[in-house]
């Protein structure tokens, strides 16, 4: 048995088969055999890749629909592309290994697609790279080519959000990463999906690759734990189940203090699957739908129709409860390669959130059309991320008006839904009183507000001691925002991770916040605090 520690992001106790997930670029190529042997290895790997794609297609068709699953079909066709196969054979004949030949030929074709004057063909570049990378993974053992059938735990160097959502998250019992930060979007995703996560772990991936079982218990990890340790973990699991059962008493109750102060406890989600989790956790609505997750882990932009279907499904699942849909917040750690955006030196300060949407109306307008089309199906509101100046809100509002008029002119119903803004930059927080005159509501993104106020990169775990969510500057801004909203008569919530901090619930009630939106699994715990609190109106 080997054991060690990391930083616990979402506590949990679990044990199961370990899968080591390595990024393609981190996997060294294997030594090269003679060309005939390499060609045979390539053919075998191609067959395995085809089988994997078929399984992924079937799984994706069930969970996200046939249209999105079609990406796998495209890649299956590419596996048989004669030009690609010839390029691989030529590279192997001139001495390359099967894995290097697969990648080099893939890169050659990807560059060819990327250079074409056609956005559909440009997007195919990512498909070719993915397909070639899959063959490389089969040959060298990287990526997610060897996932077991049932539940498992994952060990990785690090995981980007776009990588995480491509994994079968419903089968992952826990994740241990050697890097990672507590406020990254992968961490947020794990909280939403209730997947216990340890980051910054002192775990060797080579050791994990040799092990059969990985077990975790809050900040502790074990490789091939002995029976005594497993017994201890089982006991802990039973204890945690007992605690969860106590919280069940708060299911279906109103979130109101003993003195009658009411607050809405809502869920943060990224897609319909997470809406189901939210509904199962007794969320009073969706306080933040991070739409960008509909854009990640795929090779092309979602169509207006696909977005509409996803919003419709979320609205139906929430069954009459409110849903706040955030417009695309791509950028920083959430990257979509197919958008072909220029690399930035400081992406967190770059073209992200509403800025990107104002620069790229070709992306923004279809999303707004989908949101406005869904507006008649339930109680929805739209929110813009990363606002820093009033002009951005004016411009975005004007585009909303245009999109709505366009739909009405086409005979498609579209309601005049409330338009709010995320307060997540110090500029927006300081200007809250002015912005409150123009916005219908505020929701505070404390993850980014902390990052930008304290000048502490949320992705950099090495800065953990400087990342102080209770910093007086931050608390002063939070108080100022709530006052500005209340003075202007608009509602104001918190949807950053701090909204789920039990130590802050009473403070937020006193400041005047009327909604807290959080990972669904936290709702009952926070409701218990609200119901036991004396805070009055």
Sites of contact with ligand PEP (CB under 6 A): 188, 288, 290, 329, 424, 445-448, 495-496
Structure tokens at 373: 């089309």
Q: Which partner from the list Mg ion, ligand PEP, none does 290 bind, CB cut-off 5 to 8 Å by kind?
A: ligand PEP
Closer by beta carbon to ligand PEP, 383 or else 419 = 383
Are residues 378 and 341 in contact, defined by beta-carbon separation less than 8 angstroms?
A: no
Q: Which partner from the list ligand PEP, Mg ion, none does 192 bind, CB cut-off 5 to 8 Å by kind?
A: none
Question: Does 137 engage in binding with Mg ion (CB under 5 A)?
Answer: no
Catalytic residues: 185, 495
Closer by beta carbon to ligand PEP, 197 or else 495 = 495
Least distance in angstroms from the C-beta of 91 to Mg ion: 44
Binding mask 379-418 for Mg ion (x = CB under 5 A): ----------------------------------------
Q: Which partner from the list Mg ion, ligand PEP, none does 495 bind, CB cut-off 5 to 8 Å by kind?
A: ligand PEP
Question: Does 497 engage in binding with Mg ion (CB under 5 A)?
Answer: no
Q: Judged by CB under 5 A, which stretch of 8-16, 32-40, 256-264, 445-453 contacts Mg ion? A: 445-453
Closer by beta carbon to ligand PEP, 448 or else 515 = 448
Q: Phi/psi class of residue 21: alpha, beta or left (left: φ > 0; alpha: ψ in -120 to 50)?
A: beta
**CA Rg, the chain, in Å?**
24
DSSP code per residue over 54-93: HHHHHHHHHHT-HHHHHHHHHHHHHTT-HHHHHHHHHHHH
DSSP 148: -
Question: Does 292 engage in binding with Mg ion (CB under 5 A)?
Answer: no
Q: Which partner from the list Mg ion, ligand PEP, none does 38 bind, CB cut-off 5 to 8 Å by kind?
A: none
Closer by beta carbon to Mg ion, 274 or else 424 = 424
Q: Which partner from the list ligand PEP, Mg ion, none does 357 bind, CB cut-off 5 to 8 Å by kind?
A: none
Least distance in angstroms from the C-beta of 513 to Mg ion: 17
Q: Which partner from the list ligand PEP, Mg ion, none does 140 bind, CB cut-off 5 to 8 Å by kind?
A: none
Closer by beta carbon to ligand PEP, 102 or else 423 = 423
DSSP code per residue over 428-487: HHHTHHHHHTT-SEEEE-HHHHHHHHHT--TT-GGGGGG--TT-HHHHHHHHHHHHHHHH
Least distance in angstroms from the C-beta of 1 to Mg ion: 40
Question: Cα–Cα distance between 108 and 91 in angstroms, integer?
Answer: 11
Q: What are phi and psi of 149, to 5 degrees?
A: -65, -45
Task: Please pick, from the candidates 302, 445, 499, 520, the single residue that binds Mg ion as defined by CB under 5 A.
Answer: 445
What is the 3 state secondary structure string of 374-435?
A: HHHHCCEEEEECCCCCHHHHHHHHHHHHHHHHHHHHCCCCCCCCCEEEEECCHHHHHCHHHH
Which residues, 6 or more positions from 380, have their beta carbon under 8 angstroms from its beta carbon?
Answer: 311, 315, 322, 323, 324, 325, 371, 374, 417
Least distance in angstroms from the C-beta of 351 to ligand PEP: 15
The Cβ of residue 111 has, within 10 Å, a number of other Cβ atoms equal to: 12
Q: Which partner from the list ligand PEP, Mg ion, none does 124 bind, CB cut-off 5 to 8 Å by kind?
A: none
First to last CA, the chain: 55
Task: Please pick, from the candidates 100, 158, 217, 424, the single residue that binds Mg ion as defined by CB under 5 A.
Answer: 424
Closer by beta carbon to ligand PEP, 130 or else 329 = 329
* Residue closest to 517 by CA, chosen among 487, 486, 480, 492: 492
Q: Judged by CB under 5 A, which stretch of 98-106, 191-199, 439-447, 466-474 contacts Mg ion? A: 439-447
**Entry field: residues in the chain:** 537
Closer by beta carbon to Mg ion, 430 or else 529 = 430
DSSP 294: G
Question: Does 448 engage in binding with Mg ion (CB under 5 A)?
Answer: yes
Least distance in angstroms from the C-beta of 444 to ligand PEP: 7
């Amino acid at each position: 048995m080997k054991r060690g520690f990391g930083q616990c992001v979402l506590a949990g106790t679990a044990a199961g088969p370990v899968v080591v997930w390595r990024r393609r670029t981190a996997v060294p190529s294997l030594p090269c055999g003679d060309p005939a042997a390499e060609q045979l290895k390539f053919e075998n790997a191609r067959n395995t890749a085809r089988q994997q794609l078929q399984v992924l297609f079937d799984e994706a068709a069930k969970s996200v629909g046939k249209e999105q699953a079609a990406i796998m079909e495209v890649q299956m066709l590419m596996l048989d592309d004669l030009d690609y196969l010839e390029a691989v054979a030529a590279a192997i004949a001139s001495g390359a290994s099967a894995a290097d030949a697969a990648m080099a030929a893939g890169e050659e074709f990807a560059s060819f697609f990327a250079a074409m004057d056609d956005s559909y063909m440009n997007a195919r570049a990512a498909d070719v790279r993915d397909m070639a990378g899959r063959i490389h993974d089969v040959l060298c053992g990287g990526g997610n080519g060897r996932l077991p059938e049932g539940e498992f735990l994952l060990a990785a160097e690090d995981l980007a959000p776009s990588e995480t959502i491509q994994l079968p998250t419903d089968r992952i019992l826990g994740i241990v990463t050697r890097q990672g930060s507590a406020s990254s979007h992968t961490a947020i995703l794990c909280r939403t999906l209730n997947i216990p996560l340890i980051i910054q772990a002192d775990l060797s991936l080579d050791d994990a690759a040799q092990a059969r079982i990985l077990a975790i218990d809050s900040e502790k990890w074990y490789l091939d734990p002995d029976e005594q340790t497993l017994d201890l973990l089982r006991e802990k699991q039973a204890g945690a189940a007992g605690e969860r059962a106590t919280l069940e008493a708060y299911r279906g109750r109103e979130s109101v203090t003993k003195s009658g102060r009411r607050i809405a406890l809502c869920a943060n989600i990224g897609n319909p699957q997470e809406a189901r989790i939210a509904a199962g956790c007794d969320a009073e609505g969706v306080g933040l739908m991070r739409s960008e997750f509909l854009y990640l882990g795929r090779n092309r932009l979602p169509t207006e129709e696909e977005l509409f279907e996803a919003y419709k499904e979320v609205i139906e699942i929430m069954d009459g409860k409110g849903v706040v849909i955030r417009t695309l917040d791509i950028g920083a750690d959430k990257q979509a390669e197919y958008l072909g955006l220029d690399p930035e030196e400081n992406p967190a300060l770059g073209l992200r959130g509403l800025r990107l949407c104002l620069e790229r109306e070709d992306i923004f307008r279809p999303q707004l059309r989908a949101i406005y089309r869904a507006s008649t199906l339930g109680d929805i509101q739209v929110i813009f991320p990363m606002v820093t100046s009033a002009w951005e809100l004016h411009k975005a509002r004007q585009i909303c008006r245009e999109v709505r008029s366009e739909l009405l002119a086409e005979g498609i119903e579209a309601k005049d839904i409330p338009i709010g803004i995320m307060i997540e930059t110090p500029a927006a927080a300081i200007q809250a009183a002015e912005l409150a005159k123009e916005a219908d509501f505020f929701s505070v993104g404390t993850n980014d507000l902390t990052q930008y106020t304290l000048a502490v990169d949320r992705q950099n775990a090495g800065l953990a001691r400087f990342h102080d969510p209770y910093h007086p500057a931050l608390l002063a801004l939070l108080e100022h925002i709530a006052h500005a909203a209340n003075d202007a008569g608009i509602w104001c919530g918190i949807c950053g991770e701090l909204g789920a901090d039990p130590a802050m619930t009473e403070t937020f009630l006193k400041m005047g916040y009327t909604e807290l939106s959080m990972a669904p699994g936290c709702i009952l715990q926070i409701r218990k605090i609200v119901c036991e609190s004396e805070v009055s109106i």
